[in-house]
């Protein structure tokens, strides 16, 4: 390969990557050993043959060559580019010799796609075996990567034996393989590194490439549109691409066989393929190695919303009256929590964030986008908050070359089949009765709330400043026969203890009451300095779902900032009976003289544009309840207050629920003018 051409093509790809909107995350780089390495990766699109060598080269700083399907070299635009990037056609008659020579030296690393084709349907499992299906034909994944690795390690060890024995065969092999540094060759070992590439969202969408095709081509085929919509989407949309490297498979141990040992030391000239490959033991080893790297590749699938939603939908028991959408959402929420806590599977970073939005307003459109795809492809029909699914869509395989357009939900489900434990989890969750899943989600959230508090308290505890845990711990007062449930939200720099007396009063009046802890509160000011207003909203949402799963009627209210959060929640959720707000500040200026020092400091910080220092700045605070409130006010917290108020103000006019606003004319903290405006 032309080294200059390789570098030039890499530079071109780097430049092109700057235009791509894809978010690429690389994990497991520490698994890549030095020496002779073959990367075995799953194959879904043509794009992998281009960007995977580029990213591995950036990690290892070595030339990366890849074995690509011969059909890719039939595309003139790709042919030259692939060759310059180290692409070798599977139809090249000299490929095996080329791979062996370059791999032995360790200066070149190889990528081989064991599926040998783009697996557009992601259908890989049949009768618990890896079986690829392409337009009616079925076959096993290629063992080529295993054979290549065994061949490389065999000749490395044979070189060592021949050298030690002083045989002429040693010199012949050195010349045959064009070895320049024999010590380097003998010091290394051969490994296969499994690689998984997962895309989210992977469903085809209209993009600039597909639009151009519709203009240039009179009637582009479904196959062409499938490929352009899938691969164009990867280039021109905000797609997440996870490249995950698994633990390397050391090949040397597979040479520990009496027959292979005898061939390593035989003095006569031998050929690996003629004398060894045909033997049953080598065939069996290659199958064993193939099964290992294929299992590892797919076990590393990065689970995302597509997988969980499609899996739950597939296994959700049939109901003539339809599937309740909220029950479906609860099962998705619980399944994600289970998968994250399981620790044995690979999950998207998105799953590590708070998932409460799935049960409230779906503001990130995880369900909306999935339902749109499912409805447009006739997998489901939604009527009056009920899902009616066509179960045959999960059984009947569409045309191999058009399935990504015709039934992308089935592609999502197929990708889960090799990850058996995950599919078992999704099936168990999907088949749980409604009442059980409602209770499990409630318990799950309560457990999360407690764990979060304990962890944050211990992480930020300050001797002599942090209050007792009871001050910050959420308060849940249950009533056997409640009139309704009340969500009571404390203010900025306060804690649930602030609302304790009022909560007990309401409880005595036959209400179930929940007082949540806003994230960053009840621990230490440094914790609050690291918290965003969106996380306060999530704290409120978690408490709301606990009450939704406890009572039929819910009233939401709060004090000061808590009042603002109560109003915010009521702008988004329909199942709130009423809302009350005590002294809600609408602007920072409404906080009056009590907050003047903090506001002045915040304004000074903005003028200096030293945003990096905000998290380290605190203003002395003199609260009325020093046994509850923080005595230091983080400037970063003031910034979040301002952002919350700016976010809330335009939404207030959408509140259509019974609303009570309470404000004292002589409030020393909140200026009543803001309340009058509200």
Pairwise CA distance, residues 666 & 619, whole Å: 25
Pairwise CA distance, residues 432 & 437, whole Å: 6
Please check whether residues 174 and 270 belong to one and the same domain: yes
Whether 212 maps to a domain, the answer reads no
Number of helices (H), then strands (E), belonging to the chain: the values are 27, 23
* Between residues 600 and 64, the one the model is more confident about: 64
User: Which domain, by its residues, includes 532?
Assistant: 462-677
**pLDDT at residue 676, rounded to an integer:** 59
**pLDDT at residue 463, rounded to an integer:** 95
Average per-residue pLDDT for the chain: 86
* Between residues 253 and 675, the one the model is more confident about: 253
Residues in the chain, overall count: 678
Q: Report the candidate in 561, 570, 572 with the shortest Cα–Cα distance to residue 531.
A: 561
* Between residues 545 and 664, the one the model is more confident about: 545
Please check whether residues 62 and 159 belong to one and the same domain: yes
Pairwise CA distance, residues 672 & 305, whole Å: 45
Whether 226 maps to a domain, the answer reads no
Whether 480 maps to a domain, the answer reads yes
Across the range 357-386, mean pLDDT stands at 97
Across the range 242-269, mean pLDDT stands at 92
Q: Are 547 and 511 in contact (CB under 8 A)?
A: no
Percent of the chain surpassing pLDDT 70: 81
Query: What Rg value do the Cα atoms of the chain yield, rounded?
Result: 31
Q: Are 338 and 308 in contact (CB under 8 A)?
A: no
**pLDDT at residue 9, rounded to an integer:** 46
| pLDDT band at residue 268 under the 50/70/90 scheme | confident
**pLDDT at residue 553, rounded to an integer:** 97
Across the range 53-82, mean pLDDT stands at 73
| pLDDT band at residue 8 under the 50/70/90 scheme | very low
**pLDDT at residue 2, rounded to an integer:** 47
The H or E element that residue 113 is part of is none
Phi, psi for 586 (deg, rounded to 5): -100, -25
Tell me the helix, strand and coil percentages in the chain, rounded to 5.
Answer: 55, 15, 30
Number of compact structural domains in the chain: 3
| Three-class HEC string of 457-484 | HHHHCCCCCCCCHHHHCCEEECCCCCCE
**pLDDT at residue 271, rounded to an integer:** 77
DSSP string, 604-647: HHHHHT-GGGGGG-EEE---S-TTTS-SEEEHHHHHHHHHHHHH
User: Among the listed ranges 224-233, 533-542, 551-560, 634-643, which one has the minimum average pLDDT value?
Assistant: 224-233
What are the residues facing 25 on neighbouring strands?
Answer: 242
* Between residues 474 and 21, the one the model is more confident about: 474
Across the range 458-481, mean pLDDT stands at 96
Q: Of 299, 324, 347, which marks where a domain is finished? A: 299
Q: Of 432, 448, 477, which marks where a domain is finished? A: 432
Is pLDDT above 90 for 513? Answer: yes
Grouping H, G, I as helix, E, B as strand and the rest as coil, residue 233 is helix
Is pLDDT above 50 for 197? Answer: yes
**pLDDT at residue 630, rounded to an integer:** 95
Q: Are 210 and 56 in contact (CB under 8 A)?
A: no
Across the range 482-499, mean pLDDT stands at 97
Q: Are 54 and 13 in contact (CB under 8 A)?
A: yes
Provide the 10 A C-beta neighbour count for residue 670.
24
Name the pairing type of β-strands 23-27 and 240-245. Answer: parallel
Pairwise CA distance, residues 445 & 452, whole Å: 10
Exposure string over 137-171, b if 16+ CB within 10 A, otherwise e: eeeebbbbbbbbbbbbbbbbbbbebbbeeebebbe
Across the range 657-677, mean pLDDT stands at 72
Is pLDDT above 80 for 11? Answer: no
Is pLDDT above 70 for 590? Answer: no
Across the range 146-160, mean pLDDT stands at 95
Please check whether residues 293 and 327 belong to one and the same domain: no
pLDDT digit string, tens, across residues 58-71: 999 998 888 765 55
Whether 225 maps to a domain, the answer reads no
Please check whether residues 293 and 318 belong to one and the same domain: no
pLDDT digit string, tens, across residues 101-150: 999 988 899 999 988 777 777 888 887 888 887 767 788 888 999 999 99
What are the residues facing 662 on neighbouring strands?
Answer: 582
Please check whether residues 360 and 275 belong to one and the same domain: no
Gap between the terminal Cα atoms of the chain:
71
Please check whether residues 276 and 318 belong to one and the same domain: no
Instruction: Show Cβ contacts of residue 392 under 8 Å, excluding neighbours closer than 6 positions.
Output: none
Pairwise CA distance, residues 426 & 405, whole Å: 25
Pairwise CA distance, residues 543 & 453, whole Å: 14
pLDDT digit string, tens, across residues 422-467: 999 999 999 999 999 999 999 999 999 999 999 999 999 999 999 9
Q: Of 276, 299, 322, which marks where a domain is finished? A: 299
* Domain CATH number, residue 567: 3.40.50.1820
Whether 233 maps to a domain, the answer reads no
Pairwise CA distance, residues 22 & 434, whole Å: 38
Please check whether residues 382 and 407 belong to one and the same domain: yes
Q: What is the dihedral of CA 393, 398, 402, 406, to 10 degrees?
A: -20
Across the range 153-161, mean pLDDT stands at 95
Whether 227 maps to a domain, the answer reads no
| pLDDT band at residue 279 under the 50/70/90 scheme | confident
Pairwise CA distance, residues 167 & 173, whole Å: 11
Whether 51 maps to a domain, the answer reads yes
Please check whether residues 286 and 173 belong to one and the same domain: yes
| pLDDT band at residue 283 under the 50/70/90 scheme | confident
Please check whether residues 243 and 328 belong to one and the same domain: no
Long-range contact list for 626-632, CB < 8 A, 24+ apart? 627/467, 627/471, 628/467, 628/471, 628/494, 628/495, 628/497, 628/498, 629/493, 629/494, 629/495, 629/498, 630/493, 630/524, 630/525, 630/528, 631/465, 632/465, 632/525
Percent of the chain surpassing pLDDT 90: 63
Please check whether residues 246 and 266 belong to one and the same domain: yes
**pLDDT at residue 538, rounded to an integer:** 99
Pairwise CA distance, residues 40 & 188, whole Å: 19
Long-range contact list for 78-82, CB < 8 A, 24+ apart? 78/46, 81/9, 81/12, 81/50, 82/49, 82/50
User: Among the listed ranges 42-56, 211-225, 598-612, which one has the minimum average pLDDT value?
Assistant: 598-612
Instruction: Show Cβ contacts of residue 499 under 8 Å, excluding neighbours closer than 6 positions.
Output: 475, 488, 489, 490, 515, 559, 562
Name the pairing type of β-strands 63-68 and 87-89. Answer: parallel
Is pLDDT above 60 for 74? Answer: no
Please check whether residues 279 and 371 belong to one and the same domain: no
Whether 219 maps to a domain, the answer reads no
Please check whether residues 312 and 289 belong to one and the same domain: no
**pLDDT at residue 34, rounded to an integer:** 92
User: Among the listed ranges 342-346, 418-422, 554-558, 591-595, which one has the minimum average pLDDT value?
Assistant: 591-595
**What Å distances lie between residue 356 and 330, 338, 444, CA to CA?**
10, 14, 11
Is pLDDT above 50 for 19? Answer: no
Pairwise CA distance, residues 159 & 471, whole Å: 72
**pLDDT at residue 47, rounded to an integer:** 76
**pLDDT at residue 12, rounded to an integer:** 47
Is pLDDT above 80 for 348? Answer: yes
* Between residues 123 and 193, the one the model is more confident about: 193
**pLDDT at residue 6, rounded to an integer:** 46
Grouping H, G, I as helix, E, B as strand and the rest as coil, residue 554 is strand
């Amino acid at each position: 390969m032309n080294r200059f051409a390789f570098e030039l093509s890499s530079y071109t790809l780097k430049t092109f990557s700057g235009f791509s909107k894809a978010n690429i995350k690389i994990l497991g780089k520490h698994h890549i050993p030095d020496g002779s390495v073959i990367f075995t990766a799953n194959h879904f699109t043509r794009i992998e043959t281009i960007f995977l060598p580029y990213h591995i080269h950036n990690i290892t700083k070595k030339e990366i060559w890849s074995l690509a399907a011969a059909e890719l070299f039939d595309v003139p635009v790709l042919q030259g580019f692939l060759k310059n990037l180290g692409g070798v056609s599977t139809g090249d008659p000299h490929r095996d010799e080329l791979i062996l020579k370059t791999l032995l030296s360790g200066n070149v690393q190889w990528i081989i796609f064991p599926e040998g084709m783009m697996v557009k349907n992601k259908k890989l499992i049949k009768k618990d075996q890896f079986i690829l299906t392409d337009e009616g034909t079925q076959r096993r994944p290629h063992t080529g990567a295993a054979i290549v690795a065994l061949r490389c390690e065999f000749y490395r060890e044979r070189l060592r034996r021949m050298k030690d024995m002083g045989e002429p065969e040693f010199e012949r092999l050195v010349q045959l393989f064009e070895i320049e540094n024999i010590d380097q060759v003998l010091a290394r070992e051969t490994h296969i590194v499994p690689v998984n590439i997962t895309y989210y969202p992977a469903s085809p969408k209209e993009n600039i490439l597909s639009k151009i095709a519709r203009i240039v081509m009179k009637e582009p085929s479904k196959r062409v549109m499938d490929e352009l919509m899938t691969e164009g989407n990867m280039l021109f949309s905000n797609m997440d691409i996870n490249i995950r490297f698994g633990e390397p498979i050391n090949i040397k141990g597979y040479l520990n066989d009496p027959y292979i040992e005898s061939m390593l030391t035989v003095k006569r000239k031998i050929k690996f393929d003629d004398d060894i490959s045909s033997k049953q033991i080598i065939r069996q080893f290659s199958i064993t190695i193939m099964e290992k790297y294929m299992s590892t590749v797919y076990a590393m699938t990065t689970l995302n919303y597509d997988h969980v939603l499609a899996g739950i939908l597939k296994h959700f028991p049939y109901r003539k009256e339809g599937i309740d959408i909220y029950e479906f959402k609860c099962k998705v929420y619980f399944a994600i929590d289970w998968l994250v806590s399981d620790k044995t599977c690979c999950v998207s970073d998105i799953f590590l964030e708070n998932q409460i939005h799935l049960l409230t307003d779906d503001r990130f459109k995880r369900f909306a986008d999935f339902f749109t795809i499912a409805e447009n492809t006739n997998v489901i029909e939604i009527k009056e908050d009920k899902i009616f699914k066509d179960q045959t869509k999960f059984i009947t395989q569409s045309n191999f070359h058009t399935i990504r357009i015709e039934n992308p939900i089935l592609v999502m489900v197929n990708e889960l089949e090799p990850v058996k434990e995950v599919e078992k989890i999704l099936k168990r969750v999907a088949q749980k009765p409604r009442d059980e899943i409602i209770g499990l989600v409630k318990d799950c959230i309560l457990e999360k709330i407690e764990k979060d508090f304990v962890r944050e308290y211990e992480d930020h505890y300050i001797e002599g400043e942090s209050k007792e845990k009871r001050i910050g711990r959420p308060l849940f007062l249950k009533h056997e026969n409640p009139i309704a449930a009340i969500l009571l939200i404390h203010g900025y720099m306060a804690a649930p203890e602030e609302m304790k007396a009022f909560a007990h009063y309401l409880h005595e009046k036959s209400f179930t009451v929940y007082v949540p802890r806003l994230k960053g509160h009840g621990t230490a000011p440094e914790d609050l300095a690291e918290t965003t207003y969106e996380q306060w909203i999530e704290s409120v949402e978690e408490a709301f779902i606990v009450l939704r799963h406890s009572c039929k009627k819910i009233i939401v209210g709060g004090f000061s900032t808590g009042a603002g959060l109560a109003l915010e929640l009521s702008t988004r959720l329909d199942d709130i009976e009423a809302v009350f707000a005590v002294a809600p500040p609408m602007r920072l200026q409404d906080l009056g003289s009590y907050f003047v020092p903090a506001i002045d400091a915040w304004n000074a910080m903005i003028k200096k544009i030293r945003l990096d220092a905000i998290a380290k700045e605190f203003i002395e605070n003199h609260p009325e309840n020093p046994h509850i409130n923080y005595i230091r006010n983080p400037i970063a917290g003031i910034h979040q207050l301002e952002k919350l108020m700016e976010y809330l103000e335009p939404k207030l006019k959408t509140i259509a629920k019974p609303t009570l606003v309470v404000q004292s004319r002589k409030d020393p903290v909140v200026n009543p003018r803001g309340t009058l405006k509200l």
